[in-house]
Amino acid sequence: MNTMTGTILDGNKIAAQIKAEVAEEVQKLSAAGIRPGLAVILAGHNPASEIYVRNKVKACEQVGVHGETLTPPDSVTTAELLDMVERLNQRHEIDGILVQLPLPAQVDSKKVLLAVAPEKDVDGFHPLNVGNLSTQRPGLVPCTPAGVIEILRRGNIAMEGRHAVVIGRSDIVGKPVAMLLLNHNATVTICHTRTKELASHTRTADILVAAAGRANLISKEMVKPGSAVVDVSTNWVEGHQVGDLGPGVDAVAGWLTPNPGGVGPMTRAMLLKNTYQAEVRRRG
């Protein structure tokens, strides 16, 4: 068999396309005196979160979306954060509210996320938006799963009738990406850390979405030749970002997202798109 090298699904390139599309739409709104706005709550001092938030706000500015960051201290209480969210819910010029996780240990994260108005929930975490997704009603979809679908769609990878295997069952990635694939008429298998004989599932996948958060989890022997492999996870090994894929997967897969440079940039691009869409929906 010839050694094949998969086609790279370039997240940076696709994200740039989406940003350009959003910028164009935002420009049309600004001609009517309207500007979408995103507020990010960043509680305490988590260096990784600070970088993520800085990148998100910078991306907002690039496409003409108003971005602001609220930085309550490490000692913030659940009640104080609920009050902060409620004030943002009331502000008409704020279309999207993003609560950066993790929150400080003393805070009831679920309570805070639930307080975000569903129509401003640009992360798509609110149960109402989760319900909209699972019943195929319009709503805000989590950014990373939406980015995975966009990569496949713009990479011209057919989802309908294909067998998709999702490794990971988190509320943030695994479950919503499985639901989106199902909504695109794929046949979906969800695997996770308790799945027995993982390879027997992954070897049958036309589309493999790796979101388990374990470096080198997927060896080249576990991948169906010619399949599309999307590597979602961010793992740090000796100071370097890697995903869930082991060496040699690129020689077997037909399509592959790099890591970094695959799903990460897409998450930020879809956040901008969600903020724009939230603005349009709220104003009818």
Residue from 280, 225, 2, 273 nearest 122 by CA: 273
Q: Which of 123, 206, 231, 244 is catalytic?
A: 123
Length of the chain equals 284
Q: Which of 100, 120, 206, 224 is catalytic?
A: 100
- Rounded CA separation 187/43 (Å): 40
- Rounded CA separation 134/35 (Å): 30
Residue from 224, 163, 154 nearest 10 by CA: 154
Rg (CA), the chain: 19
> Is position 100 annotated as part of the catalytic site?
yes
> Is position 123 annotated as part of the catalytic site?
yes
Contact 53, 69 (CB under 8 A): yes
Instruction: Record the tokens describing residue 238, joined without a space.
Output: 């000796």
Q: Give the end-to-end CA distance of the chain in Å, rounded to a whole number.
A: 56
List Cβ neighbours of 238 (8 Å cut-off, separation of 6 or more).
Answer: none
Strands 207-210 and 163-167: parallel
- Rounded CA separation 201/34 (Å): 49
- Rounded CA separation 253/205 (Å): 11
Residue from 60, 263, 57 nearest 143 by CA: 263
> Is position 56 annotated as part of the catalytic site?
yes
- Rounded CA separation 8/211 (Å): 18
Q: Which of 56, 175, 224, 273 is catalytic?
A: 56
Active site amino acids: 56, 100, 123
